[in-house]
Amino acid sequence: MAATTLATAEGKRPSARLRRLEDERWLALVLLTPTAVLLGLFIAYPFVEGVLLSLSSARVGDPGQFVGLKNFYKIWNDSIFHTTVWNTFWYTGVTTVFKLALGLWLALLLNRHFRGKAIIRAFILLPFIIPTVLSTFAWKWMFDPTFSVINWTLFQLGLITTRINWLGDPDLAMTSIIVINIWRGVPFFAITLLAGLQTISPELHEAAAIDGARPWARFWHVTWPLLMPVTLVVVLFSVIQTFADFQLVYVMTGGGPANATHLFATYAYQLGIGTGLLSEGAAISLAMFPFLFIIVVAQLLYIRRVETR
Amino acid sequence: MIEGALWRRWVFYNIPLILFVFVLLFPFYWMIITTFRPDGELYRPWNAVNYMPFWTNNPTIEHILYLFEETNFMRWMLNTMMIAFVSTIISLFCGVLAGYALARLNFPYAGGLGTAIFVTYLVPQTLLFIPLAEIIRNFQLGDTPWSLILTYPTFLIPFCTWLMMGYFKAIPKELEECARIDGASRWKAMLYIVIPVAVPGILSSGIIAFTLSWNEFIYALVFLSSPDQKTVPVGVTSELIRGDVFFWGPLMAGALLGSIPVAIVYSFFVEHYVSGLTGSVKG
């Protein structure tokens, strides 16, 4: 074996430093150092910095001073922030339900043997791998009130008689954004759930079928419980990504019309970078943290419970 | 199979599947058709009599030419490619080493560190972009590719580490022990025995990391300002929209061409991509 020759060649005079790597603790320390440095410098440090920033009155070009919880008090009474919080929860909740339902349906459709399955699976993932901003522009163009192909289609089908101003009306704009998020997320759900489905032994289904279970009962009592661990993790990732989403809203509406479609991230961007109120922007970003923290802890506890059952 | 008659197969499987594929792929078709549509047809209202959504009889490459002649598109492509490539390499290096340590070595606080990595895996970029922008400025990295090359690993390393831990855990301990009995030192065994076996995992993490960096938007939007430093998503957004005017032709051409490198990488490594994706959600 190659390693043997290498080892004997090296083994003649191992330097003191290399010998130290024989100790698992030293080796682990060395192996983890690059990661610790980068994550410390660009995650832990910014986090502390962000907390300090949110407690100050900093603006662009003005370091400001410590003002305590004033920024948080201000956003607490800010009606746009209230809309933002509501939007974020609505957006996350609705898209997650649809992504899970449609993704699971698509996964079940794909969990069979048929010709062209590999190609279809490869193509289905495209919405997920193509850069979000770029595909969102295609959607924005499709939703353009004057040139919309969607309006044309609905009109041809006789469903509408006048144009629909998709991005000009707050509710419709939010709905459009939700549709695009679902479109982008379904492939991820489908492919990961498909992998989960493939680990379920077909014998279980056959046994249930022999016992007289109808397809719906087989799904509900065999597939769904066995798929639960994978489902939970997929949902966890999706919820966090959706909750903290920025790109979709930034491209589609920029938070408009009249600040009606902001999410945490876009509102933080508008205040922090757009108008230069760094401290308030940082406070809005950080306001996501407790929500994210609760979501993560709740999901992790639930996952642990399901896994130990 | 338990599927039954032909009509049932169509109603319950084939037609829904066709609908899914149609909806999932239609925006890309729209991107392509818009790229090649002349302006005269492009700006024809949807209720005009001669609105022809799905085809064009006068294909043109003027939008693509505009992109290369009037904007820095080529530069953005090279920037994005370089940034994605270097940050992927850095993240793989860190992620493979850290993944190995966390999956296969016994040391104090191993469990705690594993959890810490998982938590950073869940930190979204939008949580820290404002303080990070300040830090980037203080480090004098603003408006340089380094601002992204060094910050992208913050979301790529946790991902790579997590994925690699899964792959490393699946490699039997005996493999390493054999080499150790033959006299290989611990780090030689890691470098020449364990890591080569984990190459499929490294490839998967690398491909996903590459597509993730290509997709990243908010850091690039905030950290970069001059037109020739931008990445494709930011350049397309900021240079092809002037005020309220959208240059839809070049915009769609940019979206199409900007997607091609990712699509090519993906098409070569579909299986690795899928196995990485499914590996990333395993607890």
Which residues of chain A make contact with B124, given a CB cutoff of 8 A?
240-241, 243-244, 265, 288, 292
Q: According to the 3-state scheme, what is the secondary structure of B163-221?
A: HHHHHHHCCCHHHHHHHHHCCCCHHHHHHHHHHHHCHHHHHHHHHHHHHHHHHCCHHHH
When the pLDDT of each residue in chain A is averaged and rounded to a whole number, the result is 87
Q: Could you tell me which chain B residue has the CA closest to the CA of A39?
A: B154
Which residues of chain B make contact with A50, given a CB cutoff of 8 A?
127-128, 130-131
* Shortest CA gap B201–chain A (Å): 16
What is residue B41's predicted lDDT score, i.e. its pLDDT?
A: 81
Sign of CA dihedral A52, A265, B215, B69: negative
- Looking at the DSSP assignment, which residues form a beta bridge with residue B241? B246
When the pLDDT of each residue in chain B is averaged and rounded to a whole number, the result is 89
Chain B, window 206-225: residues with a beta carbon less than 8 angstroms from a chain A beta carbon:
211, 214-215, 217-218, 221-222
Question: Shortest CA distance to B155 belongs to which of B119, B115, B104, B130?
Answer: B119
State mean pLDDT over B181-198: 88
Which of A110, A129, A282 shows the shortest C-beta gap to B131? A282
Q: What is the pLDDT of residues B29-53, one digit of tens each?
A: 999 999 998 888 878 777 777 777 7
Which residues of chain A make contact with B20, given a CB cutoff of 8 A?
102, 106, 109, 124, 186
A309 pLDDT band, cuts 50/70/90, is low
pLDDT > 90 in chain A, percent: 52
Strands, E assignment, chain B? 241-242, 245-246
CATH superfamily label, A79-308: MetI-like (1.10.3720.10)
Q: What is the pLDDT of residues A194-238, one digit of tens each?
A: 999 988 888 888 888 888 888 888 889 888 998 988 898 899 889
Which residues of chain A make contact with B36, given a CB cutoff of 8 A?
none
Which of A50, A130, A141 shows the shortest C-beta gap to B262? A130
Range in A119-123, B192-196, B276-280 the model is least confident about: B276-280
What is residue A150's predicted lDDT score, i.e. its pLDDT?
A: 85
Eight-class DSSP state of B5: S
Contact: A147, B42; criterion CB under 8 Å: yes
What architecture (CATH level 2) is domain B71-280?
A: Orthogonal Bundle (1.10)
Contact: B182, A4; criterion CB under 8 Å: yes
Q: Could you tell me which chain A residue has the CA closest to the CA of B267?
A: A122
pLDDT > 90 in chain B, percent: 52
A25 pLDDT band, cuts 50/70/90, is confident
> Quick one: which H or E segment has residue B51?
none
Chain B, window 59-118: residues with a beta carbon less than 8 angstroms from a chain A beta carbon:
90, 93-95, 97-98, 100-102, 105-108, 110, 113, 117
CB distance from B146 to chain A under 8 Å?
Answer: no
**C-beta separation of A74 from A280 below 8 A:** yes
Burial of B164 (0-12, 13-18, 19+ CB in 10 A): buried
The domain ranges of chain B are 6-60, 71-280
**Which position has the higher pLDDT, A187 or A160?**
A187
What is residue A308's predicted lDDT score, i.e. its pLDDT?
A: 65
Question: Shortest CA distance to B169 belongs to which of B201, B127, B134?
Answer: B201
Q: Pairing between strand B245-246 and B241-242?
A: antiparallel
Quick check: B190 pLDDT over 60?
yes
CB distance from A189 to chain B under 8 Å?
Answer: no
What is residue A50's predicted lDDT score, i.e. its pLDDT?
A: 93
Q: What is the pLDDT of residues B64-100, one digit of tens each?
A: 999 998 889 999 999 999 999 999 999 999 999 999 9
CB distance from A60 to chain B under 8 Å?
Answer: no
Q: What is the pLDDT of residues B217-231, one digit of tens each?
A: 999 999 999 989 999
